[in-house]
Amino acid sequence: MKAPDYVKTTLEKRYWRKLLTVLQERGTPVQSIDQYALGMLACNLATVEECREDLRENGIHVEVSGDRGHIVRKRNPSFDLLKESQAQIKHYLSQFKMSPASRGIELSGQSLSGDDWELL
C-alpha cells in the first residue's frame, strides 16, 4: 500500500512504513480506504517528535517581540500543537486497535516494557 500524498517528510514516511509493518505483523486487516487514517496517524507521530524536539531545544516558554517592541515571554506554540497531536494519536491508535483499551486489555498498575515501546 502506498502512503497518501500528504505523507511527505522522511519522518512521516518512516512512521507510515513502521505503522503498516506493525499492523501487518499483528494480522490487522488494512484496506486501501484506511490509508488516510493511517497517514494521519503517521503525520501526527512525526509532529509529536518534532514538537518534543523543539520544546527540548527552546523550552516551554519562548521570548518574542511584543506590540511595543518589548520582549514578551509566551508559551511555545509547539506545546499546544503537541497536545493536539497527542489527542489525534490516541484517537487513531484506538481506531486501529493499537491501544490496550481498544483491544479490551486492562493494564491496571502495569507499565509497558522497553520492548513495547520499540514497536514505534
pLDDT at 57: 96
Q: How far apart (Å, rounded) are the C-alpha atoms in residues 5 and 70?
A: 42
pLDDT at 118: 58
pLDDT band at residue 43 using 50, 70 and 90 as cut-offs: very high
pLDDT at 20: 94
Q: How far apart (Å, rounded) are the C-alpha atoms in residues 17 and 89?
A: 16
E-state strands within 10-83? 61-65, 71-75
3-state secondary structure of 26: coil
Mean pLDDT of the chain: 88
Q: Quote the pTM value.
A: 0.80
Q: How far apart (Å, rounded) are the C-alpha atoms in residues 117 and 36?
A: 24
Q: Which residues make beta-bridge pairs with 35?
A: none
Does residue 47 have a pLDDT over 80?
A: yes
